[in-house]
Chains A and B, each alone.
Chain A
Amino acid sequence: MKLPPYPMVEPDLSAPFDQHRATVLPEWIDWNGHMNVGFYVVAFDKATDTLANQFGCSWDYTREKIGMTFVIEAHVTYDREVKEGDPLRITSQILDHDAKRLHFIHCMYHGSEGYLAATNELMMMNIDYETRRSAPWPDWAMERLDKMAAAHKKLPVPAQAGRLIGIKRKK
């Protein structure tokens, strides 16, 4: 099996993956006095980096000019407000994957009060560094993804996954 030219972190097969922690920064607050919609996605994207590090496709992967991961689609539900300085806990659950793509969902919780603040469902694609086009996951990533997906399979699919946006339409 092909290994990356950098060390990989210890595999963590807890379900869901539950390592990412963050704090709401002052510059993430908007004129409504809460974390702005764009910065929820900043926070989620950092959780994506923590997850990608599990399968050896985070910063090292790009720094070594091997590949990149691009998000091709995202869905966010904003469930409750968070304020400046609030601690955040973000869990990640793999829903599906194939040779080039990974479908997963993050859940953001208030770190001390425990309530669900937001969810982010994502479709991510592996990209070849040279061509900037889609390419199959490297061996090392596929091996880890298979294991994580198997561990996450027992989890119920969150109600926020697979949502269709809409409001009840009046005549």
Chain B
Amino acid sequence: MLDSLPYELPELVTRAPLDTHRSTVLPEWVDWNGHMNVAFYVTAFDQASGAFMRNMGLGRRYVDGKLGMTFVLETHVTYDREMREGAPMRFSTQLLARDAKKVHLFHEMFHGEQGYLAATNETIVMNIDYATRRSAPWPAPVAVRLEELWQTHKDLLKPAKAGRVMGLSKK
């Protein structure tokens, strides 16, 4: 485990849920159906996970400094409504669980102006040692920040769309 990180960490945001990430649907994210393609919802959510990690102190400098990386292990998306080119997006992020190496996150994507829920994403992200490319415990200062965030998130209600198993309900 890394005992420290060789750069200054940003001021920790502990709002529950986190609500700082914003984005816009890019032209190249739109497919032949005239809306944001399924894959780019995942890209947009991945950027929201990136914002979560920056808040933890694991931004670009963590990778560029050859200290570590974060890998997504598994992800689940519900596509609730279409998004068109240029649409503004607002994200909210809830920490559902954490352990020594992983976080379990739940993101919601809203249309930035109209306010409707466009999609949700439940995801598991793991800390990776740069040299071995294998899982490793969070760096010590990150573990501390994660605990601080957990204290504000642990009592939030579990979102209705979290913990879904896919299947057709037969009549």
The residues of A with any CB-CB pair to B shorter than 8 Å are 31-32, 36-39, 41-42, 44-45, 59, 62-63, 68, 70-78, 81, 96-98, 101, 103, 121, 123, 132, 161-170
**A-B interface, 7 closest residue pairs, ranked by CB to CB distance from nearest:** A38-B43, A41-B39, A42-B39, A38-B42, A71-B38, A74-B77, A75-B76
The residues of B with any CB-CB pair to A shorter than 8 Å are 32-33, 37-40, 42-43, 46, 60, 63-64, 69, 71-79, 82, 97-99, 102, 104, 122-124, 133, 162-168, 170
Q: Is there contact, CB below 8 Å, between A68 and B74?
A: no
**CB < 8 Å neighbour of B168 from A44, A68, A98, A170:** A98
Closest CB in chain B relative to A120 CB, distance in Å: 10
> Dominant SS at the A interface?
mixed
Please, could you name 6 A-B residue pairs with CB atoms under 8 Å apart, sorted by A? A45-B39, A77-B74, A78-B74, A103-B167, A165-B104, A167-B98
A45 and B122 CA atoms in complex are apart in Å by 19
Query: Beyond A68-B33, A74-B79, is A45–B38 a contact (Cβ under 8 Å)?
Result: yes
Task: List chain B residues, Cβ under 8 A from A169.
Answer: 97, 99
A37 and B75 CA atoms in complex are apart in Å by 9
Closest CB in chain A relative to B143 CB, distance in Å: 12
